[in-house]
Amino acid sequence: MMWLKTRTDRGQSKIAAPIQKAVLAAKRDNPRRSIRQIKRLLETAGVMALDVQSRSAIHRLLQQHAVSRMRGSVSGVQEKRSFTAQYAGSVCTATCCTGRR
């Protein structure tokens, strides 16, 4: 039977502490910011070097601090249908009416 060792660094981010604080502050400042936007913002501000941190590492950091997804919606549930029909079967497509494929 093979025994697996648990990782000693499990759950710990390899991102430096000042960069972690900046990432979390950028996300909390604007929860709608994507990981790509946060990364670009911190790179242009000179907080972190270009292409040093991966987007997946930033995502894991945000997940650990429970800020990776927006909670709820400001406007509530939005209907996303392009159209609705009053009765089922009342919508006819052009291919069934014309016989073309």
Boundaries of every domain in the chain: 17-64
Q: Is the pLDDT of residue 24 over 90?
A: yes
Percent of the chain exceeding pLDDT 90 equals 29
CATH topology for 17-64?
Answer: Arc Repressor Mutant, subunit A (1.10.10)
pTM of the predicted model over 0.85: no
Q: Is the pLDDT of residue 19 over 60?
A: yes
Q: Is 56 exposed, middle or buried (CB count within 10 Å of its CB: 0-12, 13-18, 19+)?
A: exposed
12 and 60 Cβ atoms separated by less than 8 Å: no
Q: What is the mean pLDDT of residues 15-36?
A: 92
Please give the residue that has the higher pLDDT: either 3 or 70.
3
- What is the pLDDT at residue 41? 93
Q: Alpha-carbon distance 12 to 33, whole Å?
A: 23
